Amino acid sequence: MRLLVDAGNTRFKWRLEQEGIVIDEGWSALGTNAPLASIEGYLGAVSRVGVSAVIHEDIRLRLSSYLEQKVSGPVHFYWAEAQRFGLRNSYMDPRTMGADRWHGMYGAWKRYKCGCAVIDAGSAITVDYVNNSGQHLGGYILPGLKMMLKSLKNDAARIAFEEGEVSKAEPGINTAECVNQGLSWLSRAMIERVSKDVSELNLSQTLVTGGDAGRLFALGMKGAHHPSLVLDGLGYIDSEAFG
């Protein structure tokens, strides 16, 4: 039995597999003491764990310790690489790329083997482009919805508002609308730019993952929804590592 873990900035996502069949998958908040409590009965039978992590090192060490206590098999952390089976990283130093971006791109590449845009709408929004030959063309990192809301609440003391509808983008007529619909306006501008890039770069697929993927689709994003894209890529890499 294999356990795959995507430890992001705010969520701990996991997938439990037996001989390639998904037994269960889910998520928990990152800061919980027992993030795998719902599948604890299975953990003794886990023969290995593969982890994609972008968390701070102290949290990663605590996670590693937790997993090693709960499962009998080894725990392997996988990071971004210079290349893998036709996918080539544009970074001069791949170690400086977030593992989730690489694993999401690899999941897309293994599934489609064509030019694609990979958008991960999480705490931060990442956009990465891969051409038809597997060359990573680079990407963008933007603040996500919750990060922008938190920044406005914390750093603009005179802007008082409540979180609300974020799928409308017309001008607001009160502060809450101006903030929430302003964020949607920014997101729509990003969506339009992605669409333009996809056309100009001749990319065949747009794949969207992350907790705010649904909001991007509501705002007009065109593409395929792959909620577990990072885990997919991680699973391919772990399988290739162990045969």
Q: Which residues are catalytic?
A: 100
Residue ranges at the known binding site for ATP? 6-13, 123
Closest CA to 198 of 96, 110, 117: 117
Residue ranges at the known binding site for K(+)? 120
Closest CA to 211 of 225, 191, 196, 197: 225
CB neighbours of 177 closer than 8 A, spacing ≥ 6?
164
Residue 190 CA to residue 204 CA, distance in Å, equals: 19
Residue ranges at the known binding site? 6-13, 91, 98-101, 120, 123, 175
Residue ranges at the known binding site for substrate? 91, 98-101, 175
